[in-house]
Amino acid sequence: MPLGFSTLGCPSWPWSKILDFAAEQQFAAIELRGILTNMDLTKVPELAPDKIDESKRQLKAHGLRVSCLGASANMHDMDPVKHAAQLDEARRFIDLAQQLGAPYVRVFGNEYVKDVPREQMLAHIAGALRSLGDYARPKGVTVIIESHGDFTDSPSLLELLQRADSPNVALLWDAHHTFVSGKEPPEVTVAKLGRYIKHTHLKDSVPAGDDRRYVLTGTGDVPVKRQIEALAKIGYRGLYSFEWEKRWHAEIEEPEVALAQYVTVATEYLKALPTNPANK
């Protein structure tokens, strides 16, 4: 099954345990978003220049691949020095992705800066994305902007992607955010943005006061099954990556429970798809 998970969900696991668990649960890929206390993947010991070949051998031996590298880089900052630092982080992650053979590097939009006109804001972010796409193209990497922060609605995301106008800039669809924050049914989001979606984050939640609480897949009110169905209908060939935000929310279920439960539920959803050859 084309299932993966983000290491955001297992912040206390070392590299070896991540690989062993992923293989045991028959995940196809892992998405790297920090290892242990280190969120800068370019400084993770296992991904250092003298260790990366061994780590690639370990991945292959476990039947795994790296689906995406999750950078923290935000494209919205208007301060030239801070903006340059964000672009530098993204480029370092692109270099690492090339070395690992990972197809995608995730970045954020991420905000409308106060007192900056919307037109100027969109042009600034799109220009940064285009620049990163130009850098990534000869390296065989695509930069994907996540639906996150102030950019969780299809019109804004579509405008950014069209303005970036790069074959190496695409979308990471965080389907939770467009549904909860963007107030969009999954079918609407996919109809408008489907051609740009290369990678996907899935997770479930329930209301909790003025916020949300993450819950096991299929037990909340986020239509995860419909999200998967909407992607399948347009012939999506990417991974369905589980983003269990354990690093940011220590109180939610342990990764051993949540990740294994996701495999069970997501596999059921995928097997039930009309596009599944077994159902034709």
Torsions phi, psi for 19 (to 5 deg): -65, -45
Q: Assess contact for 151 and 109: CB atoms under 8 A.
A: yes
pLDDT of residue 278: 60
- Residues in the chain with pLDDT < 50? none
pLDDT of residue 276: 75
pLDDT of residue 280: 56
pLDDT of residue 264: 98
pTM of the predicted model as reported, rounded to 2 decimal places: 0.96
pLDDT of residue 275: 73
Q: Assess contact for 202 and 227: CB atoms under 8 A.
A: yes
3-state secondary structure of 120: helix
pLDDT of residue 277: 57
pLDDT of residue 279: 66
3-state secondary structure of 278: helix
pLDDT of residue 274: 85
Helices 186-193 and 154-164 cross at an angle (nearest 10°) of 20
Burial 36-50 (b: 16+ CB within 10 A, else e): eeebebeebebbeee
Dihedral sign from CA coordinates of 214, 184, 31, 81: negative
